[in-house]
Amino acid sequence: MSRPGRTARIALAGFLLAGIAPPCLLWLFGWPSGWEPIRRWYLRHAGSDSWRPIRDALAYVTTHPSAGGLYEQTYWQSAYQFMYSPLSLLLVEWTEWPPFLEWRSHHSLNRLSWIVMLAVFGATALFCYRIARIAGPGPATRGEAAGLAALGVCASLFFYPLMYAYAIGQIQTWLDLALILALILWLAGHRVAVGVLIGLVCVVKVNVGAVLLWAVLRRQWRFVGGFALVFALLGPAALMRYGWAVHAEYLDLLAHLSRRGESFVSNQSFNGLLNRAIFNGNNLEWDGTHQQIRLIGWVYAATLVSSLVLILPSLWPWRGRGRLAGTADFAIALVTFSLASPIAYEIHFGFLVPVFALALVVLARADTPRAAWWGLGLAYALCANRLSITDALAPTYFNFLQSTMFFGLLILLALLFRCRLVLAARAA
């Protein structure tokens, strides 16, 4: 069993070998290293990947009070696809507060995103500190926990999915902060607040909404109440503001996306792996309308089966005791429901640094075989880096190796299940 004082040293070694060494090697051999987003954050240069579609949708609903045809104009007929829910658009209208939060100005939004990134670093540090202090047997000292927290900040800064979301101007940066705060609040036992946060995330990214089913099966009624509160406030108001036709348009759009999926390399779901393997759609170029990808029945069926295979173990009834065991179970749900979606871009996993920290601390305090340590390091290397060298495989039958994060997430999930068992046994 590892002593608590060794946890930070193990984390440092893993970070250098799995987080720093791979991009250094890519740079040495002339491949893009994936560190460009760090420079862009430092210089405060970000794009408008989310902000431009939101601005176009706001302009449309301002000039069309009934909002009919919203997605026809802002998705199908636009070069900048708006694919968020009508509830999210209502939330945008309610929260516009110039100049602090001006949704029609991507400069204002990116300034706020820069601050959000600082909050992400701080929240990650807090989570790492707390789990180091409460994990047994033999919790870490304040100094050791502070070292792990500092390492969590460094890992976040070099975590490609998180930094890339900021660099392109994605609202996912804000969602990453919400998910990390949800992990902190779950650890502290504030279930209603967690439900509200996850509800707000689902207003923008609906795929995480399946966590509600997980909570019902766990009888986490305070979480369910917080989640329901968000939709009880926004749902009827959005219907009155935009009408049912817009919501029907959005459901049609979701059906279109879920049936076809995405072959672009950033889609790290099983659906993305399959579509790339059969050369269905663009691999290295993003097609925002998803019209170039064909609907193939067996791919759709295989995607459904893979989603069930991923989701069922996380839903399986389990009532472990202890704060860490419950947090590990919650982390499994967040990772699983993000990965089980037909479209799971790399940027959707920017919240993973605290999850890796949780796995590290638990494994470091248990009799962990060497294979598990190698697995954790490999999972981190595959999830934290943009391994651009695999782009050369795009036109070949080995392009399944482009799904680096997908394989890394599968390993991480397996280790999280092991952590949950370890914590449950310790609590018992």
Residue 251 pLDDT exceeds 60: yes
Q: 79-100 burial string, b = 16+ CB within 10 Å, else e?
A: ebbbbbbbbbbbbbbeeeeeee
Cis peptide before 99 (omega within 30 of 0): yes
- Of residues 135 and 6, the one with the higher pLDDT is 135
What is the C-alpha to C-alpha distance for residues 71 and 64, in angstroms, rounded to an integer?
Answer: 13
- With beta carbons less than 8 A apart as the criterion, state whether 209 and 235 touch: no
pLDDT score of 322: 79
- How many percent of the chain have pLDDT more than 70? 97
C-alpha–C-alpha distance, residues 8 and 13, integer Å: 9
Least confident of 19-23, 126-130, 284-288, 349-353: 284-288
Distance CA 302, CA 287 (A): 22
Q: What is the pLDDT of residue 46?
A: 94
What is the C-alpha separation between 164 and 40, in angstroms, rounded?
9
Instruction: Return the closest-CA partner of residue 159 out of 282, 308, 18, 322.
Output: 18
pLDDT of residue 379: 97
* Burial (CB count within 10 angstroms: exposed 0-12, middle 13-18, buried 19+), residue 20: middle
pTM of the full predicted structure? 0.95
The whole-angstrom distance between residue 128's C-alpha and the CA centroid of its chain comes to 18
What are the C-alpha distances in Å from 357 to residues 14, 180, 276? 11, 12, 32
Angstrom distance (rounded) from CA 262 to CA 259: 10
Cα distances (angstroms) measured from residue 128 to each of 105, 145, 155, 190, 400: 35, 7, 11, 18, 34
Integer angstrom CA distances of residue 121 from 128, 155, 157, 348, 351:
11, 9, 8, 17, 11
CB contact set of 366 (below 8 Å; sequence gap of 6+):
1, 422, 426
Report the C-alpha gap between 174 and 206 in whole angstroms.
Answer: 15
Length of the chain: 428
Q: What is the pLDDT of residues 325-341, one digit of tens each?
A: 899 999 999 999 999 99
In sequence order, the β-bridge partners of residue 345 are 267
**Ranges 359-368, 369-378, 382-391: which has the least confidence:** 359-368
Q: How confident is the model at residue 5 (pLDDT cuts 50, 70, 90)?
A: low
Q: Residue 140 has which token pair? A: 């870490």
**E runs forming strands in 23-99:** none
Question: Side chain identity at 22, as an amino acid letter?
Answer: P
Q: Nearest 5 degrees, angle CA 214-CA 217-CA 218?
A: 85
- Name the 3-class secondary structure at 168: coil
Residue pLDDT, tens place only, 6-52: 677 788 888 888 889 999 999 888 898 889 999 999 999 999 999 99
- Comparing 1 with 284, which gets the higher pLDDT? 284
What counts of helices (H) and strands (E) characterise the chain?
20, 0
The CB-side HSE value for 173 (13 A sphere, CA atoms) comes to: 33
Residue 316, pLDDT above cutoff 90: no
Residue 2 has pLDDT above 60, yes or no: no
pLDDT of residue 1: 43
pLDDT at 425 over 90: no
* pLDDT at site 267: 95
DSSP 8-state class, residue 3? -
Each residue's pLDDT tens digit, 169-193? 999 999 999 999 999 999 999 999 9
Q: What is the mean pLDDT of residues 347-361?
A: 96
pLDDT-derived band at 3, boundaries 50, 70, 90:
low
**213-217 mean pLDDT:** 93
pLDDT at position 384: 96
What is the average pLDDT across 286-309?
90
Amino acid (1-letter code) at residue 155: A
- According to the model, what pLDDT value does residue 427 have? 67
CA dihedral over 278, 280, 285, 288, signed as positive or negative: negative
Sequence ranges of the domains in the chain: 4-427
| Range 131-169 burial, b when 16+ CB lie within 10 A, else e | bbbbbeeebbeeebbbbbbebbbbbbbbbbbbbbbbbbb
